[in-house]
Amino acid sequence: MSAVPYTSIRVPGGCQPRVEDGLARIRRELDLPEKFPRAVAEEAEWVARVPRMPVLDRTDLPLVTIDPPGSMDLDQALHLVERPGGYRVWYAIADVGAFVRPGGRMDAEARLRGETVYLPDGRVPLHPPVLSEGAASLLPGVVRPAALWCVDLDADGLVVGADVVRARVRSRERLDYDYVQAAVETGTAEGPLRLLAEIGALRLALERSRGGVTLPVPEQEVVADGEGGYRVELRTPLAAEEWNAQISLLVGMAAAAMMLDAEIGLLRVLPPAPDAVVGRVRRTAAALDVPWPEDASYGDVVRSLDPRVPRHAAFLAESTALLRGAGYTAFNGAPPALAEHAAVGAPYAHVTAPLRRLADRYATEVCLAVAAGEPVPEEVLRVLPELPDLMRASGRRAGTARRACVDLVEAFVLRERVGRTFDAVVIDTDEDGSGGEVQLTDPPVVARCDGEHLPLGEAVRVRLTRADPATRQVRFALA
């Protein structure tokens, strides 16, 4: 499916100062730091010049990165090859531990931030850009320290062996998803890119067999349009993004298995949905005429849906209730009672984005120690129990920022259209029947709608009753 959004809406450049004022207010409300403390910035400048480079040299591997265009914080680089009876996945992950030591100034600052927060007018990075977009990033043509995973798969894509070591690597090329997708679709993909599609398809099939699920829900994104304004896009990921995500997932699953075997680590977990929630979502499926056979999993159902079909979009929005409650769990001893991630369908760990997420660096340090047969460093053990709470707080902050930015731009775009009517689809309803949520077909806005007993999953006409950039509120009523 094309990466081009179904529709987009744009705030003209003339509104730019006011939009930026709104973005600045979001930063203040969430207490997002404007810059790094001087001592942290100075430490980053110093370690950027003298990283702890590994002895092992694997610059012979022709690694490539695959990221959105313009990305500079490149966490992962891969190389895929065929081997007798299957495949070998080489996956290099930026070794932030070669620069940031637990207990140092940068580590203390990273623990305050938790993760990178992305805003339309710039990011609030986890680490100083001299590292995250420079010395630690897997930019092409330069030697970098990395945690290098080697994961062997059989002919069906199942993991049969995994190892991780510190190594020097050098990415050969920076690719983007559109390029990879076009190469596969035109039949010009060779070597690793051909295998990315092949292995990605195998891993997606295995995800289905595990009962895992990836929601095919378009996401709203606020982006600068390059002409002095902003736009909101409703975008569905390319197949190339899904294949790439599957490689990241398999490394995260290998890391989780390694930590569970060693009885120490940090897992990303999601409990199964309660029976009452499953029952409610099944009733929603029936009401929307979405087939859900008794022997079919939730993943089987959503993979058959098209989010551009109104009743499918409504079901997907309602069914996200089944995937709520993700978090982290740290353990040192017996594995935790909840060790699986319900959406993955297996134990899983975050290890592939250490430039952007604090937990990944610590989980990687655990895996490196376990794989080497060495004790986990004491400074890592001290911090491990604190990470679930730190990551929960930072995840909530990042999610709130993303939603606030979308709400702000939506309100700016619609502020001159109060009183007008629009085509929409009802994607959520209140239990008491007092209103719900609608998704406009054009422009791509999702907002609150007032009205008794909204017809879930049906197309309706709605009237815009409020669009206030100051409060970032947009509201509709049935027309």
d(CA 301, CA 343): 14
Residue 24 has pLDDT above 50, yes or no: yes
- 152, burial (CB in 10 Å: exposed 0-12, middle 13-18, buried 19+): middle
Give the N- to C-terminal CA distance of the chain in Å, as an integer: 33
- Distances in Å between the Cα of 438 and the Cα atoms of 53, 168, 210, 306 are 53, 51, 33, 17
- Provide the pLDDT for residue 100: 94
- Provide the pLDDT for residue 337: 95
Point out the least confidently predicted range of 307-316, 331-340, 368-377, 446-455: 307-316
d(CA 112, CA 225): 32
pLDDT band at 12 (very low <50, low <70, confident <90, very high): low
**Which one, of 80, 77, 97, lies nearest residue 89 by Cα?**
80
Mean confidence (pLDDT) of the chain: 91
Which uninterrupted H or E stretch holds 436?
Answer: strand 435-440
156-185 per-position pLDDT tens digit: 999 999 999 999 999 999 999 999 999 999
- pTM recorded for the entire structure: 0.90
pLDDT band at 17 (very low <50, low <70, confident <90, very high): very low
- Using DSSP's 3-state secondary structure scheme, residue 317 falls into helix
Kindly state the greatest CA–CA separation across the chain.
Answer: 68
Per the DSSP assignment, residues forming a β-bridge with 164 are: 149
Handedness of CA 130, 71, 193, 83 (dihedral sign): positive
d(CA 284, CA 198): 35
Residue 2 has pLDDT above 50, yes or no: no
Q: Are 337 and 347 in contact (CB under 8 A)?
A: no
43-89 per-position pLDDT tens digit: 999 999 999 999 999 999 999 999 998 899 999 999 999 999 999 99
Residue 447 has pLDDT above 70, yes or no: yes
Q: Are 11 and 447 in contact (CB under 8 A)?
A: no
- Provide the pLDDT for residue 377: 95
Q: What is the DSSP string of 323-372?
A: G---EEEEEESSPPS---BTTTTB-----S-TTTBHHHHHHHHHHHHHHH
- Distances in Å between the Cα of 214 and the Cα atoms of 119, 307, 363 are 25, 13, 23
92 vs 102: which has the higher pLDDT = 92
Handedness of CA 99, 104, 108, 111 (dihedral sign): positive
d(CA 161, CA 151): 6
Residue 435 has pLDDT above 60, yes or no: yes
For the segment 3-14, the average pLDDT, to the nearest whole number, is 46
Structure token digits, residue 274: 């309660």
Question: Tokens 């309803």 map to which residue?
Answer: 429
